[in-house]
Amino acid sequence: MSHHLCESELSGIELTSESQRWELRVLQTPEEMRTVEELQRQVWPGSETDVVPTHLLLTAAHNGGVVVGAFVEGQLVGFVFGFPGLEFTPDGPRPKHCSHMLGVLPEYRDQGLGFALKRAQWQIVRHQGLEHVTWTYDPLLSRNAHLNITKLGAVCNTYLREVYGQMRDGLNVGLPSDRFQVDWWINSRRVVDRMEGKPYPRLPLSHYLKSGAPVLNPVEWDDEGWPHPPASSQAAMEDGHPLPTVLVEIPADFLTIKATQPDLALAWRFHTRALFEELFANGYVVTEFIHESGRPPRSFYVLTRDTRGA
Ligand SMILES: CC(C)(COP(=O)(O)OP(=O)(O)OC[C@H]1O[C@@H](n2cnc3c(N)ncnc32)[C@H](O)[C@@H]1OP(=O)(O)O)[C@@H](O)C(=O)NCCC(=O)NCCS
């Protein structure tokens, strides 16, 4: 019964996909969910207990949750999964969509599939009448930051320490599971423009530097070319007043650091934890992300603060 309800509810939505290379589909059957289990094992290898099982995916999908798959020649190569949730505001509890997982097989990354899956989720969640989607991601992952902040238009001023306790999967073992929780205001002009493929401003690093926005923590390179966080960071103040815009640098390739330099990975975690917690407490919001693919590639968050009356 719930299966039929769910099918008719979503069948009116035609998922946007300008690419001929893949097909996007809302997933609803036990067989489809089993392929999502299998895909999770490939995207997050190493921990069977962290796989979201078929029965939970199905129950979520039959109760307002959204599971969308991307297929190439009939093979599932990516998926997005989330479910309705509640957030607690000064006006009382409000409904939102909690997006839990987004995964694309390594050989299909950087082709726009992550974006396409999130846009499908955006279409469905808007259709459900919700306005707010949240999810968490590791703020040290440059590719994820570029996708979430630049391409999708999410913003962030929430830093969560150790969200998942000790994680056991191969991508995360041994590092505190600190996360950004991002806000995706799905009816905002900022997000709608991006989802509809309209142009939006993407300014280079030089623009920010020229306009007086400092990099609070420029990386220091060692002899082997590893980026280290500086011993101390510049304050986000000038003449006793908070600056309207500041930049925070992160490594452009944290995945390699995590895999080969665990002490350096930990140093980056604690360095950025302190910096972001302080900036968010002082009213800053992550609004843009810059990734410059030079030699070496470099990555920066842009944080802005309303300085009127400050
Ligand atoms: C995060 C993930 C879903 C992204 O999927 P994807 O299909 O590669 O996403 P897209 O192709 O839409 O976007 C990736 C963007 O990052 C860019 N990119 C690649 N490496 C980058 C880097 N080091 N820094 C910044 N941007 C980078 C790509 O060029 C692309 O941007 P562009 O379209 O402007 O060129 C995928 O990498 C993945 O499955 N990762 C492992 C699991 C994970 O981290 N999931 C999310 C948290 S639950």
What is 2-195's CATH topology? Answer: Aminopeptidase (3.40.630)
Q: Which residue has the higher pLDDT, 172 or 50?
A: 50
Q: How far is the CA of 57 from the centre of ligand 1 (A)?
A: 24
The ligand 1 atom at the shortest distance from the C-alpha of residue 150 is 34
Instruction: Identify whether the C-beta of residue 63 lies closer than 8 Å to the C-beta of residue 45.
Output: no
* Ranges for all domains in the chain classified under CATH 3.40.630.30: 2-195
d(CA 296, CA 252): 9
pLDDT tens for 71-116 read 999 999 999 999 999 999 999 999 999 999 999 999 999 999 999 9
Angle between helices 30-43 and 54-61 (to 10 degrees): 120
Nearest CA to ligand 1 atom 43: 103
Claim: this prediction has a pTM higher than 0.85? yes
Site to probe by mutation for ligand 1, drawn from 81, 98, 109, 293 as the one with most ligand atoms within 8 Å of Cβ, is 109
21 DSSP 8-state letter: S
The alpha carbon of 8 and the centre of ligand 1 are apart by a number of angstroms equal to 32
Q: Decide: 291 in ligand 1 pocket, CB within 6 A.
A: yes
**228 C-beta closer than 6 A to ligand 1:** no
Please report the pLDDT score of residue 13 as a whole number.
72
Q: What are phi and psi of 219, to 5 degrees?
A: -70, 155
Tell me what pLDDT residue 16 has: 74
| Shortest-distance atom of ligand 1 to CA 78 | 39
Task: State the pLDDT at residue 10.
Answer: 63
CB of 50 closer than 6 angstroms to any ligand 1 atom: no
Cα separation, 175 vs 263, in Å, equals 10
62 lines ligand 1 (CB under 6 A): no
pLDDT at position 4, please? 41
Distance separating alpha carbons of residues 302 and 158, to the nearest angstrom = 15
**What distances in angstroms separate CA 298 from CA 138, 188, 215, 239, one per listed residue?**
17, 29, 12, 29
User: Confidence class of residue 46 from pLDDT cuts 50, 70 and 90?
Assistant: confident
Residue type, position 24, single letter: L
pLDDT in tens, 216-254: 999 999 999 999 999 999 999 999 999 999 999 999 999
Q: What percent of the chain shows pLDDT beyond 70?
A: 92
Report pLDDT digits (tens) over 262-291: 999 999 999 999 999 999 999 999 999 999
Mean pLDDT (the chain, rounded): 92
Which residue owns the Cα nearest ligand 1 atom 3? 103
Predicted confidence (pLDDT) per residue in 124-142, tens digit: 999 999 999 999 999 999 9
Best residue among 40, 42, 101, 146 to mutate for probing ligand 1's pocket (most ligand atoms within 8 Å of CB) is 146
pLDDT at 169 exceeding the cut of 70: no
Can you give the pLDDT at residue 174? 76
Where does the pLDDT of residue 2 fall: very low under 50, low under 70, confident under 90, or very high at 90 and above?
very low
